[in-house]
Amino acid sequence: MDTSKANAITYDSMTGLRDRMTFFADIKRNAAAGRFGQIVLIQLTQLMRINRKYGVPVGDALLRAIAAYLKGLDVEAVAYRIANSRLVLFRPEGTREQAAGLAGDIQARFREIWSVDQEGQRQEIMARAHVIHFPLRLKDTENDLLDKMNYAVTVFHEKASEGVLFFGDELNADMQHKKYVMEEVRYAVENKTFQIYYQPIYDCREGRFTSAESLIRLFARDGSFISPGEFIPMAEENGLIDGISWIVLEKVCCFLGEHPDLPLKTVSVNMTGQQVLDPTFIGRIEANLEKYHLDGSHLRIEITERTVTEDFAEVRKVMEELSRKGIHFYLDDFGTGYSNLSSMLSLPFEVIKFDQSLIQIMNDTEKGQKTISLLADIMHENNYCVVAEGIETAVQVESAHENSLDRIQGFYYAKPMSEEALERFLGQEGNA
């Protein structure tokens, strides 16, 4: 039964719409009565810019104009302002199609100009909004709904067709999957349960495997495999990549310490450009080397140009200092970034790794072939060694040799493998 407290309606003082507290109370009350209804979320995306450009009073007047529009749109729907730039229409009754129609109308309205009067001055403003349609679900709590809204806003550009995003089963499943992945990553960081695989790299001149790249592997608690291509970008977004990289570095150092006779000259670890700028970076590497009685000359660090975005002078200083200690750097995924090539190549890399996408053009056309050949020449003239990544076929191996690429990493020779498999592999290859 409704209590008078649950019925108390509170309002947003700026727009006069019902506020966030009332929104969640209304949803709860309707759900208790078996009405789940539909929600249309209007996330204003440029309110800050509008406030800066026209002044806060104009921004406020725009909000009131949008609020008045939403209020008058549909007698069956109630409008709310639930956060600074977040407005909502809740339609307790009616079909999904009716709510979709409403969302479409709102989206269309945002393609037009809003005229606002502020102290006698008329301003014509274009406002932008993400319009997202949610059918409410039986079990949605307040937090579920907020999670869905936040998720929908972040994926809006990727997924919204026709300008309105529909938060249906597919998006809900995506969100649940991402949540699951992040929970597994957090668990693996806390318990250091990541595994490290190693992919041997073939040296064309020596005709044997002289190095390997360490690659992280995450097996979830239910036994399923989550690929680094999926979770590493998420870990970067969620501030977990630093912790992950140090776990990998320690596990690699431990492995190298326990296997002093491993017939490899070097093993590389993937890190980020931001980490290199961390004042504790060199100290932490040295502490790991000391802990496992290593001198560092076997360790290499891979960074991608994507993650070196600032402070090249400082990055160079750290690279030079580590290089003096025998720890050299690889530029990973060359050919995928859009950064300034000359700045990138001014850094003291030992090796440039040509990304698989770049390698693929090598056999596509004659022009592709010439491009790789030219790039390899430039790298060699500048004393860089070149690794070809993602080599899968005998034809690609042949082209790599023809273009004088120095080393080959790819499924053609070896896939990433566990520590034990690596030892067996190197033994069998007569590398020892």
Give me the residues that bind ligand C2E (CB under 6 A), please: 199, 215-216, 227-229, 232, 241, 245, 248, 270, 302, 332-333, 356, 389-392, 409-411, 416
Question: Quick one: 37 or 390, whose CB is closer to ligand C2E?
Answer: 390
**Residue 390, CA atoms < 13 Å, CB-side half-sphere:** 15
**Long-range pairs for 397-402 at CB < 8 Å and ≥24 separation?**
399/362, 399/363, 399/369, 399/372, 400/204, 400/359, 400/362, 401/204, 402/373
Among 12, 250, 302, 423, binds Mg ion (CB under 5 A): 302
Interaction residues for Mg ion, span 376-405 (CB under 5 A): 389
Interaction residues for Mg ion, span 117-176 (CB under 5 A): none
Question: Quick one: 37 or 390, whose CB is closer to Mg ion?
Answer: 390
| Residue 341 beta carbon to Mg ion: minimum distance, rounded to whole angstroms | 17
The interface partner of residue 22, options being Mg ion, ligand C2E, none and the CB cut-off 5 to 8 Å by kind, is none
| Residue 322 beta carbon to Mg ion: minimum distance, rounded to whole angstroms | 17
**Residue 249, CA atoms < 13 Å, CB-side half-sphere:** 27
Could you give the C-alpha distances from 386 to 13, 312, 333, 334, 382, in angstroms and in order? 63, 22, 11, 10, 11
Could you give the C-alpha distances from 25 to 30, 71, 91, 139, 144, in angstroms and in order? 9, 19, 14, 15, 15
Does 307 contact Mg ion by CB under 5 A?
no
Question: Quick one: 270 or 274, whose CB is closer to Mg ion?
Answer: 270
Amino acid identity for residue 303 in this structure:
I
Phi and psi at residue 222, in whole multiples of 5°? -90, 10
Q: Which contiguous run of DSSP H or E holds residue 123? A: strand 121-125
Q: How far apart are CA 296 and CA 328, in angstroms?
A: 9
Which tokens go with 162? 């026709």
The interface partner of residue 26, options being ligand C2E, Mg ion, none and the CB cut-off 5 to 8 Å by kind, is none
Could you give the C-alpha distances from 111 to 43, 128, 131, in angstroms and in order? 14, 8, 12
Question: Quick one: 228 or 296, whose CB is closer to ligand C2E?
Answer: 228
| Residue 311 beta carbon to ligand C2E: minimum distance, rounded to whole angstroms | 19
According to DSSP, the β-strands at 38-44 and 86-91 are antiparallel
The interface partner of residue 392, options being ligand C2E, Mg ion, none and the CB cut-off 5 to 8 Å by kind, is ligand C2E
Judge contact between 210 and 265, C-beta under 8 A: yes
Does 333 contact Mg ion by CB under 5 A?
yes
Question: Quick one: 92 or 410, whose CB is closer to ligand C2E?
Answer: 410
Does 270 contact Mg ion by CB under 5 A?
yes
Does 19 contact Mg ion by CB under 5 A?
no
CB under 5 A: which stretch of 225-233, 269-277, 366-374, 407-415 binds Mg ion?
269-277
Phi and psi at residue 430, in whole multiples of 5°? 70, 30
User: Which residues are 329's β-sheet partners?
Assistant: 301, 349
Question: Quick one: 74 or 333, whose CB is closer to ligand C2E?
Answer: 333
Question: Quick one: 266 or 270, whose CB is closer to Mg ion?
Answer: 270
The interface partner of residue 416, options being ligand C2E, Mg ion, none and the CB cut-off 5 to 8 Å by kind, is ligand C2E
Question: Quick one: 54 or 292, whose CB is closer to ligand C2E?
Answer: 292
Does 305 contact Mg ion by CB under 5 A?
no
The interface partner of residue 216, options being ligand C2E, Mg ion, none and the CB cut-off 5 to 8 Å by kind, is ligand C2E
User: Residues interacting with Mg ion, by CB under 5 A?
Assistant: 270, 302, 332-333, 389
